[in-house]
Structures are given as C-alpha cells and as structure tokens.
Structure 1
Amino acid sequence: MDEEGNSRGRRFNPTTILQQFLSPPNNSSTPMNRFSFILSRASTTSRRIMREPSSLLQDTSSTVQSDDHQNDWAYSKPVIVVDVLWNLAFVLVSLILLLSTLKERPSTPLRFWIAGYAIQCLLHVGFVYLEHRRRNLDGGAASGGENEQHLLYDETSQSRGTSIAKRLESINTMVSFFWWVIGFYWIVVGGQALLQDAPRLYWLAVVFLAFDVFFAIFCVVLACVIAIALCCCLPCIIMMLYAVVAREGASEGDISVLPRYKFRSRVSDMDWKQDAAVMEMESGDDSISEISLLPEDSECCICLTKYIDGVELVRLPCSHHFHCGCISKWLRINAKCPLCKYNLHGDNDELV
C-alpha cells in the first residue's frame, strides 16, 4: 500500500506542478520579471489548450470541404454515370476485339497498346467509384451524431485517403497522355503495312486516339466559350446589379418634394442661455416657418460638419435634417434615413 501510495504521489502531485508553473528562470529574480513570466506561461498554456482537437478538426474539415465544393459538379450522379458507362464501353470493345483478332499480326505492338488503354479506363472507373463512395461516407458521417474526437480521426484518415487517390488519379492522367503519344507514334510508324496486317486493331487504335483528341479539343473550346461569354456578359451583369441597387434608392421626384430650409443662427439675449438656431422654411409667400434647433443638433451627421448661416437643409418626414447635397446623394443610393432608417418608399417595419 505504501509503495502504491508513493507511486500515485509521484504520478500526480498538484503542488509540484504548480511550483513548476510558477517557478521563473534563473535570471528573473525581480517581482516584475516573475509577474511577466507567470503571464507568459499562462498565455502559452491557454493557447495550447485552445488549439486542441476542435481547431485541428475545423482546419481539416474546412480544407476538405473547400475541395469537395469545388469538385461537386464533377462527381454528380449524371456525370459519374456517363463517365463510367463510357469507359466501360471502351473496355468492352477492347476486350472483344482483342479476342477476335488473335490471328492478326501487327508490325507494331498495337495489341499491347490497346490492352494498356483498357486498363487505364478500368483504373479511371475505379478511382471515380472510390471518390463517389468516399463522398457518400462523408455525407453519412456528417449527418450522424459522432463525437468530436472520433470525427477528428475520421476526417484525418479520409483526407489521407483522398490525397492518395488524387495522386494516383494524377499519375494515371499523365500516363494516359504519354500512352496516347506512344500509340500515335506506333500508328504513324506502322503506316500501310499495319493497315494490311491488322486492320481491325489499326482502326480501333485510330478511333481511341481520335476520341481523345476530340475530347481535348471540346474541353478547350468549351473553356474558351465560357471565358468569352463571361467577358461579353459581364457588362450586362454589372448593369443588372446596378439596376437592382438603384431600386433601393429614392427617385428624383421623391427627393424634390422634401421640405427645404435655410439655416440661421440666433444668439440669445440672456447670458445664462446658450446660443440657439432655427431652420426657416423656403416658400414663395411671406409666411415663414421656423424650426428651433439645439446647438448640439446643428450639424450634419453625414459629413460631420456644423451648419453655417444660409446653408440649405433638407428635413425628412422622420424630422431628421441634413445638408441638401449630402442627403440628396445619400437618398439616391439608399432611400432610408441615415439615423433612424426611415424608408421614403413606405416600408418602415424596422425603425431604429
């Protein structure tokens, strides 16, 4: 029992840990150095605690999710079905012709090239299936109620598997390119002799090479068409967005009907009163409509400058006033009051 107690004491001793945490280095003997050392240790420990599996999980999952969102369209069910059926058709045709042309003796190893082409198609189908299966497993794991630690290990293993699969797919793509060059070289070298000795193998290889060239040209042309369409349609899109934004602003008619005033400062006769100011209504008749202003309210909240004598002001229906030029520019962009969000269009459900 004593030995067990001693062993437990050696395993976990809060006093020893606290002393190690609070003990400064040898060169920090002053109280200020000791205090700064304790703060640095505490901040380091807190950062270490905060960067536990949750942050690692978020970083890993965000990286995987960004890649997945970028490639979702390429792994949708219609694209996968067409891709798999197309490659399996190549494999089936290659197998049938290889078995039916055993008596043909080509001058170049076309039979070997066609077999390699079929194997590459099978590998591509396998990579597509594995990626589709991984995505389905990711969706099931995200919908299930797994704990954070288990999800961390799952995401880490899946990211490793994804990186390996992508590397293998990239290697297969590079090999396919060089394999196409080799097949084209053997077709050119064989010439008419190859067409006479193994006509079916010759035309099968030519069809495979032609399909690859067709798809390469199709992808390049499609990319160019999309780029040209974006360049041509971008001004139209900008105009549409500008029109949508313009709808949020007020029209010139709405701005012109707003009451306009002239600012005039007024000094009080009594010394114990502060200076005051008024806004005089601009009208064609002799009647004058005045609105008194406090000194702290005698400034425009848009340009943050105080009113001066004779400046033209505009008063909104919400009783807030601004410089005429400032509020006119504001209302053309946004029909809401800068202070209380009063909408000149009448939609005032959310007022501050």
Structure 2
Amino acid sequence: MDVREGEEDFVNSQTQERTNALKFLKVLIVMEGFLKVLKILISCAVLFLTRNEKCEVPLKLFLLVYMVITIAKFGIFMSKNLPFFRINRIPEYRENTDITLFSNFIEALLLFWYLIGFNWIQECENCSVANPLLYYTTVVFVGLGFVAFIAPLIAIVLLLFLITFVKPKLQEVMYKDQSDVSDDTYHCAICFDNYIPGIKLKLLPCGHHFHQECIDEWLDLKDTCPLCKRNINLLYDLIDPPEYDV
C-alpha cells in the first residue's frame, strides 16, 4: 500500500467512525427520551392509584413536582437533541446558549428536589407499609436521580483516563518513491530528513505523514499533529469539537 492509498483509506475510516458515532448517539437520544416519557407516565399512574391514600410526609407532592420537572426536562431534551437528526456528523452541531442555561437551572432545581425527597423518605416511618406503591416509587426515583448526577462524574474520569492512556492506532505505510506522496512533501517535518524507499511512515487523522520513529517520539510528549496541531485522538472531539472540516 502506498502513502496516497493509505491516506484515502485512513480518511475514509475516520469518516465512517464519525458516522457510526452519530448513529449510536441518535439511538441513545431515542432511548433517553423514551425513559423520560416512561417516568412521566409512571408518576401519573402512581398519583392516580394513590389519590385516596394518606401519607405522613408529602410524598405525593414530591411525585407531582418531580413529574412537572421531568416534563420540563423532556421539552428541553427534545429542543437540544433534535438537531442531531438533521446533521451528518457531530462537529456541525452547536448548542443553544439560552436552552443550555435554562437546562442548568432545571438540573439544579431537580437536584434540590431529590434532596428534599430523600429527607422526606428518611422521615417516613410507616409509609413503606401503609403506602408501599407511593413510598417505593419515590425511593426508586430519588435513587435513580442520585445515580444520574454521579454517573457523568464517573464518565468524565473515564474519558480523561482513555485520553491519557489509550492511544489510537495510526495507519502505517511503506514509502516507495515520491509518486506515493499525495501532498508533494517528500521529507519528515519533524527531523527534516528525506523519505527513502523502504522506510515506514505513519499517517495522522489530519492526513499529514511522518517517519514512524519520529512521530512515535513526538506523540509520547504531545497528542497533536506537529504541523496543524490537531488532536489525533477522536475522543477530544467529544469535549472540544473542531471548528474546521475534516
């Protein structure tokens, strides 16, 4: 395989990876939207079934406010994520600042309401026996809520671990002659030595190529291309989408 063919194959593979990532993201959006609707329906059903029951703490109020907040979150969720179904690749998406600010307010309100619900659960001594449906529904929603707030922190730690310790596998090609190089660059931009037949080159996602030994040493220090400074790890796109087309 020559350098030109290697570049084309590598770019195609990166494009396919981005397309697959967007498809997977759409599936996650549909699943999360379904779960939010399910929470709303469950809250409505429990409030209806326990409408004549009494409880020593206002767990019905908790479920009612929780349902209203969930409805608001569902509306925000749809506004933020519907654009993903109208784009072809992730970097084209840009969040609406106003929606994001309102979403942050709702999340803070929801966390506060979870704490209130947790306190009411602790104060409720007989609800688990007298009103089991209302009590355990509240326990499940509060428990899932705390997990939902903790999970992103775990995901961030995991993402930082992957970015730091998991390096992407770069395309390797065997250089033959100058006709194999598509961009008329016949030397390594790191050591400035000319390419010689039989030497191995490595291709970065941006399309730039270097001596295998040179780029390996460079990537031990930095995760960016020596020329265009683009991050070689696609995981960076999840936290800092590029502003240019690939």
Aligned position for 2:46: 97
State whether structure 2 residue 132 is matched by structure 1 residue 183: no
Judge conservation of contact 2:118–2:142 (CA < 8 Å) in 1. Answer: yes
1:116 paired residue among 57, 65, 82: 65
Corresponding residue SS for 2:111: helix
After superposition, give the CA deviation of every residue in 1:219-250 in whole Å (9 maximum; x if it has no partner). Answer: 3333223323333335xx5xx66x969x77xx
Aligned position for 2:131: 198
Identify if the C-alpha distance between structure 1 residues 333 and 90 changes in structure 2 by more than 3 Å, giving closer, same or farther: same
State the alpha-carbon separation in 2 of the partners of residues 335 and 346 from structure 1: 14
Judge conservation of contact 1:335–1:345 (CA < 8 Å) in 2. Answer: no
Corresponding residue SS for 1:108: coil
Judge conservation of contact 1:110–1:205 (CA < 8 Å) in 2. Answer: yes
**Unaligned residue ranges in structure 2 (runs of 5+):** 1-20, 89-93, 176-187, 200-246
Shift of 1:74: 11
Shift of 1:79: 2.1
Judge conservation of contact 1:87–1:121 (CA < 8 Å) in 2. Answer: yes
Identify if the C-alpha distance between structure 1 residues 184 and 231 changes in structure 2 by more than 3 Å, giving closer, same or farther: same
Q: Which of these two proteins has the greater Rg computed from alpha carbons?
A: 1
Counterpart amino acid of 2:123?
Answer: V
Aligned position for 2:234: none
After superposition, give the CA deviation of every residue in 1:182-234 in whole Å (9 maximum; x if it has no partner). Answer: 100111111x2222332211100000011122333333333223323333335
Please, which moves more after superposition, 109-118 or 215-224? 215-224
**Unaligned residue ranges in structure 1 (runs of 5+):** 1-71, 140-157, 249-329, 337-342, 348-352
State the alpha-carbon separation in 1 of the partners of residues 111 and 141 from structure 2: 12
Aligned residues: 164
Residues 231-246 of structure 1: matches in 2 within 5 Å?
231-234=164-167
After superposition, give the CA deviation of every residue in 1:57-103 in whole Å (9 maximum; x if it has no partner). Answer: xxxxxxxxxxxxxxx96994212201110011111111111111122
Counterpart amino acid of 1:96?
Answer: A
Aligned position for 2:99: 165
State the alpha-carbon separation in 1 of the partners of residues 81 and 69 from structure 2: 18
Aligned position for 1:345: 197
TM norm structure 2:
0.55
Aligned position for 2:157: 224
Shift of 1:128: 1.8
Larger relative contact order, structure 1 or 2 (CA cutoff 8 Å, min sep 6): 2
After superposition, give the CA deviation of every residue in 1:9-46 in whole Å (9 maximum; x if it has no partner). Answer: xxxxxxxxxxxxxxxxxxxxxxxxxxxxxxxxxxxxxx
Corresponding residue SS for 1:104: coil
Judge conservation of contact 1:127–1:169 (CA < 8 Å) in 2. Answer: yes
* CA RMSD in angstroms, aligned pairs only: 3.8
After superposition, give the CA deviation of every residue in 1:121-140 in whole Å (9 maximum; x if it has no partner). Answer: 1111111222344566789x
Share of identical aligned residues, percent?
A: 18
Identify if the C-alpha distance between structure 1 residues 116 and 74 changes in structure 2 by more than 3 Å, giving closer, same or farther: farther
Identify if the C-alpha distance between structure 1 residues 104 and 332 changes in structure 2 by more than 3 Å, giving closer, same or farther: closer
